[in-house]
Chain A
Amino acid sequence: MSAAQVLSSQEVAAAVPARFAGVRRFARAFRHRPSGVAGLAVLLLFSLLALVAPLFIGQDQLDVTKVDGPLLSAPSGHYPLGTDQAGRNVLLLLIWGSRESLRIGIIATALTVVIGAGIGIVAGHYGGWVGRALMHVTDWFIALPSLPLAISLAAVLGQGETSITIAIAATSWTATARLVRAQTLAVEARPFVERARALGAGDWQIMVRQVLPNVTPLILVSSTLTVAGALLSEATLTFLGLGNPASITWGEMLNNAFFNGAFTADAWWYLLPPGLAILVVVLGFTLTGRAVEHVLDPRTEDRS
């Protein structure tokens, strides 16, 4: 009797906060991966900086017509990372740039995930000619060289953040779609999906209630890695001059530095910080993504 009681109380304890238990288990496993923790710390730091930047950076310090610093001068006490050609503080530009860069990266990733997961689940669930057609479209997009496609898209849609975001999303959803389709096929072969079908669940019910929760961890992992790719693409496209010159992003800083001769002037303080910032944040996303991947699916560890 007492044994039964213990069992039932355990059952109760486990049943109510089941999800949080899973999260706790995940967090415990994640904590044992120093690289993942380091990556996450970097991301939190940059996110925090990006969020609080408006509290200590005013438009007057970023508006080229209002600043009065020395032009392209080396780092000094007042300007820890020197100044740009217009006399703006490179440190402030760097912090402000993280806002736009991260925003473009995250929105593009969200778009990627929505498009990729949607197409992947639909293709995997329906199979037949719908699935084949969708996968052929995906293959077609995989075969297209992504940088020229992104450049042409940005040129057609007009320049600026919106078109760059769309261009990144349009070129990077294919990997997610492929992954999600494979996982959908695997999930749908499991008995509980068959049970749901036998109980009369429709297509929508199965895709949203049965498949989606089971592919979400995979989507999560793939999206952390996609943010890294999107950040790099954003920097590439803006560096190539497809951004808006009035906005401040890391890619735009590199573009300004490069095309106005900062190389020749040996203005390393103008070139290095945005480059390193991109490197560190991309590394942060990659480390976090890998760690999450390994925690969720320990089998992947050997392969990498």
Chain B
Amino acid sequence: MVLRQRPRLLAAPAAAAACALLLLGPAGLATSAAAATPSSTSGKTLRVAMDSSGVDTLNPFTAYFNGSYDIFGAIYPTLTVIGQDGRPNPYLATSWSMSSDHLTWTFKIRKGLKWSDGQPLTAADAAWTLNLIMTNEVAGTANGTLVSNFSSVTAPDPTTLVIRTKQPQSNLTYISTPVYSIPIVPEHIWKSHVADLKNYKNDSFPVVGYGPWQLTGYKTDQYATLDANKSFVLGAPKYDHLIEQLYKNSDSAVAALRSGQLDYIEGVNATEYSSLKHASGVTTTQSAGNGWTGLELNPGAKTRSGKSIGTGNPALTDPTLRRAIALSIDKQTLVTKVIDGYGSVGQGYLPPAWPEWVWKPSAGEEQTYDPAKANQLLDQAGYKRGANGIRINPKNGKPLALRLGIHSDDSYDAAISPYVAGWLKAIGVKVEIDPMSMTALNSDLGKGDWDMLMDAWTNGPDPTYMLGIQSCTTLPDDQGNGGNTDAFFCNPAYEKLLSQQQTQFVPAQRAKTVDQMEKILYDADVDLMFYNKTMLTATSSKVTGMNTGTPDAKDVYPAQSSFWSYLKATPKAGDSGSSSSNVGLWVGIAAAVVVVGAGVTVVRRRSGADDRE
């Protein structure tokens, strides 16, 4: 299941984009591209493509979309920042310590910082923001789960923040980081908006905040404009302005990049990447992917109290069948053909972007593509082939026909599903592909009305949430409500390790526990990992420094974050900046002249007609 809890976990629906494109037509694209021309600017402008999910709201308490979080990371401060090592580093907090009972955390907050309106930025702002999320239901909409274990947050003085937790919480330093978790907002601005927080849009520009950038404007579903904060504490941005332009269709973003209207796109698709590799004026890079694409098998959906629910095919409760399905999938072919080789075969549950948590099966435990063995397993288990080659479930005498639910708006799902159907047919399992809207698919998922579902997740540097969706506590209640389970997985050994890793404060120890959990998931064959895509980015050659870190042997950079990329972006020497934006300006002026001229003519002719009558 993709994004049931957090829509910001995936890119925007492609079908919706196609509809929008169809309705808007080329005119829509043209106007939005021309409109992003900076109004009054001197200095250099960095123009990037906004995350295709766009901005749902600029209110950080209620926003879910990736596009919104990229902006919050740029304009609001956080306690820590994820560094090149994938771990929390100092940002607002310069250092932190934990009491011996593991329940009280003390953060030292930087002195002398000021919000963009000149008011001091202190520990009190952080305490106020976190307290609001803990106590106000609306404020907890997006990030409430991150603070659910807090008992109190106080700021005894402007440079000290004290957080007390109910239970030990090993991921505490991850709860406020740019782009991934809670942004800190200025108390003096937001105090008066608590009452109408649900409807507050946070759109009085410039938005008061603190970060590498300040938000100076936003046009719904078009673009956001930002100005650099030249006194930013982690180093000043090299550009003076930043424009985030929304493209609902990645092909049009690529066209904009090629024509020089755009400087940076994160997340182009494989075919686009291959063609951009040889384009002049464009640099392409791969960075470690922060997500996986895979297949869920319904292991027999049960509620929290153990009652079976839904219409899942009972045959899938048999681990042998699930293992046979796992062995019948040629993941390497999916990597080669669906994502053109830009990625790796999926194994562990947590993605390669965060190397700390990556797990690989040891030699001999690997599940490799082996249809012969899959067939042999099924033969031994008594699944006999009936007429037309479809196996019969020995327990109820019915042919093995499984539904495969896919996201109708996801082109990868559409590309993968015929492969899965083909491979499963080879082991005598019939597959009916059932494309569904995301809402319909998630609704079926929650009720247990499914056999197999295509699934994709991305996650941040802390694995707590991803591990949590495999917990028994996320199963729905007897009425089928309240669950956010990923695939109705529930295993006591996993459960024990889940609470154990929450109390392990030495990263290496916690990682070891997490590894054991990933092994349990791998062996259960409930979530089959197909592949981990690498993040494909394309940058104009006029910009350097956007890719942080050093690439590995396969030329893949470490995971990138928009926070660092936009901050480190440097104009190439001798480049006069955004020349094409002037072209846009001139085109706009010319168009205005034509329109006004035509309007005047029409008006004059009309008045002439009136005179004649």
A residues sitting closer than 8 Å to B (CB atoms) are: 63-66, 71-72, 85-87, 151, 155, 158-160, 239-246, 255-256, 258-267
Contacts and interface: CB of A to CB of B under 8 A. Distances in A.
A244 B274 contact: no
Contacts of A65: 330, 333, 418-419, 422-423, 426
A159 B411 CA distance: 15
A226 B254 CA distance: 38
Given A241-B408, A246-B418, A258-B18, 16 more contacts: A71-B336, A71-B337, A72-B271, A85-B415, A87-B337, A240-B22, A241-B18, A241-B414, A242-B435, A246-B421, A255-B414, A261-B250, A261-B271, A262-B271, A264-B254, A264-B276
The 4 closest A-B pairs by CB, nearest first: A261-B271, A65-B422, A245-B414, A259-B411
A260 B269 contact: yes
A85 B338 CA distance: 7
A239 B22 CA distance: 11
B272 A64 contact: no
B508 interface: no
A246 B417 CA distance: 7
Contact of A240 (B19, B251, B255, B337): B19
Contact of A261 (B272, B406, B422): B272
Taking residues whose C-beta sits less than 8 angstroms from the other chain, chain B's interface range is 35 or more
B379 interface: no
B415 A240 contact: no
A256 B414 contact: yes
Contacts of A244: 433, 435
B370 to A, nearest CB: 15
Contact of B271 (A155, A160, A239, A264): A264
Nearest to A243: B435
Interface of B: 14-15, 18-19, 22, 250-251, 254-255, 269-272, 274-276, 330, 333, 336-338, 340, 406, 408-409, 411, 413-415, 417-419, 421-423, 426, 433-437
Nearest to A158: B434
Contact of A64 (B269, B340, B406, B422): B422
A260 B254 contact: no
A242 B408 contact: yes
Given A159-B434, A159-B435, A256-B414, A241 B14 contact: yes
Contacts of A240: 15, 18-19, 22
Given A240-B15, A260-B269, A64 B254 contact: no
A240 B64 CA distance: 26
A66 B14 contact: no
B275 A260 contact: no
Contacts of B337: 64, 71, 85-87
A265 B414 contact: no
Given A71-B337, A159-B434, A261-B270, A245 B419 contact: no
A108 B255 CA distance: 38
A246 to B, nearest CB: 5
A110 B254 CA distance: 43
Contact of B275 (A158, A241, A255, A264): A264
Contacts of A151: 19
